[in-house]
Copies of this chain bind each other. A is one copy, B any other.
């Protein structure tokens, strides 16, 4: 049964707090930059061709010359979809006529690329119209459809304009005709359409969307060999997967029987998101049980402290329990975004603080690390250790780069990150008929459908006072108390009041003009690993609030930037500091440490000689903003 849901996307209006500033960065820098990429007008960057693909697909449908045809990944269309979705969220926060006009124009171009029967995919429409729906494993037709559905919903919610929504409803009906009416036995190679169909259903009430989402979830893995047989039935491939890696495809058994998070981590969490969505929508206990098991598998055995998931570059995938290497970590930005999706949907059935804990762990660490502070370059892979000379160089480290590139040939992450940041309000706030939920702390105003209207003022994640004012309405307020906050205080109108703590949330009755003040623990703290994680034995991490800290060479001249020579003593004498050459808002930490003196050669029989001092740490998300240098999250504890 649905416990609570995300707020409408127009319900949260940021102020100039941390979240508002990040959203402004996306609006001012990322949206125009990405648009120039989509149009191939950005200098010195990967070719995109996304807009041209839609133009050319339209030409193909009209029987015209397709010009320079299709270019890019088979899922190139999704970049346009994510850009539009980001624009929609941004318009909901910050109206902008010119941007809206540009988006309308892009939507017109997209609409022109839709086939008469509702089909929409430029790769196949331009190159392989007779190959439609033959390669669900690699073809990404359903994936692209899903992203465009999400964009359509967001754009309609933000602007009231339904052109793209109608295009995608027609597209959904076409997919229904193929898979339900037509009896196509396939299911998505890359889950995404399922969660998008749930959004479409909730927005439009179109029952076919629910039916279709349910269908794709229900048939998945019932025939584990579907993809292998699909491969055998055609003489063409995209990359050449034989479909036999059932774990990679989350297709080894019906989803209700799955327990371990396996395979391509983005695909996994997109699937689990839809499963959790459907479970809450249809009150499907068995499905929710599977979601709970998969959640435990990820967060209890396969997740980095940064909320990163997917340990291995091989298939961008989960590996096995407790296999969490720092240096070769994959931790795709998209995967942590997907983990936030999953967490947010788990909250629908069960408002439990652990989901919010993970949501902000993923957001404030891996997701934000995905973007340079100036908004102009992006990480796809987010390792927890960087050693120039090894990182990006050794053949086992080609994927973990020492600097953020401006764009990627496979450009899933930057636009995904942009839409995630701009829709932060939907993850931060939730509601049901009686209660307003504060899952995460986002400064600004929020209007709940239940009549409550709040303002929230906070400098979170660097300030730990969160002050709510009830602007209107009456009801319950449920505020998540983060698990990392060893102490906290909560007052209403200056008085300590009775409040119930249930599953990590403080529940309060509030009415208009109430002032609710939450003080969270501002003390930095150490985190220690389980002794089941081989990579982390004997190490310690430093955190403050939701932020995981890291140590960079640039801040640690006393060891000549050789972070590898530093160990933390674990002492509590930690103090906030100014971070050099980083924005003022960022709080650095000075922490007791020792450095080991250099020795000649690889190995020595002489005991290490240590020098005492202080190391300086900065938030992990801000790493790599001052040029190439060593970086470490987990430090040796001495």
Contacts and interface: CB of A to CB of B under 8 A. Distances in A.
A256 B325 CA distance: 38
A246 to B, nearest CB: 14
Contacts of A327: 325, 534
A72 interface: no
B530 A322 contact: no
Contact of A534 (B390, B527, B530, B604): B390
Given A311-B394, A394-B320, A395-B317, A532 B603 contact: no
Contacts of A314: 395-396
A259 interface: no
A486 interface: yes
Given A312-B395, A323-B394, A387 B534 contact: yes
Interface string A561-598: 01011010010000000000000000000000000101
A530 B602 contact: yes
Contact of A565 (B325, B526, B531, B607): B531
A488 to B, nearest CB: 14
A374 B607 CA distance: 37
Contacts of A570: 607
A75 B603 CA distance: 37
Interface in A620-638: 636-638
Interface in A516-552: 525-534, 537-539, 541
Interface in A299-321: 299-301, 303, 305, 311-315, 317, 319-321
Given A530-B598, A531-B564, A602-B300, A322 B390 contact: yes
Interface in A356-415: 385, 387, 389-390, 393-397
B394 A602 contact: no
Contacts of A312: 394-396
Contacts of A328: 396
A570 B605 CA distance: 12
A101 interface: no
Contacts of A321: 389-390
A394 B319 contact: yes
Contacts of A323: 390, 394, 396-397
Which of A321, A528, A538 has the most chain B CB atoms inside 10 A of its CB?
Answer: A538
A636 B638 CA distance: 10
A451 interface: no
Interface residues of A, number: 64
Contacts of A604: 527-530
Contact of A564 (B319, B532, B541): B532
Contacts of A395: 312, 314-315, 317, 319
Interface in A479-523: 484, 486
Q: Is the contact region of chain A dominated by helix, strand, or loop, or is it mixed?
A: loop
B322 A528 contact: no
Contact of A603 (B315, B387, B530, B602): B530
A571 to B, nearest CB: 11
A531 B601 contact: no
A394 B408 CA distance: 27
Contacts of A530: 598-599, 601-604
A205 interface: no
A606 interface: yes
A537 B525 contact: no
Contacts of A385: 534
A248 to B, nearest CB: 9
A95 interface: no
A608 interface: yes
Contacts of A303: 602
A528 B320 contact: no
Nearest to A386: B534
Given A319-B394, A325-B327, A530-B599, 17 more contacts: A312-B396, A319-B395, A320-B394, A321-B390, A322-B389, A322-B602, A323-B396, A324-B602, A325-B396, A327-B534, A526-B605, A530-B598, A533-B602, A534-B564, A537-B565, A538-B538, A538-B567
25 contacts: A301-B602, A311-B394, A311-B396, A317-B395, A319-B394, A319-B395, A320-B394, A322-B389, A323-B394, A323-B397, A328-B396, A387-B534, A390-B534, A396-B396, A486-B605, A527-B604, A529-B604, A530-B598, A530-B599, A530-B603, A531-B562, A531-B598, A537-B564, A537-B567, A538-B636
Interface of A: 299-301, 303, 305, 311-315, 317, 319-325, 327-328, 385, 387, 389-390, 393-397, 484, 486, 525-534, 537-539, 541, 562, 564-565, 567, 570, 596, 598-599, 601-608, 636-638
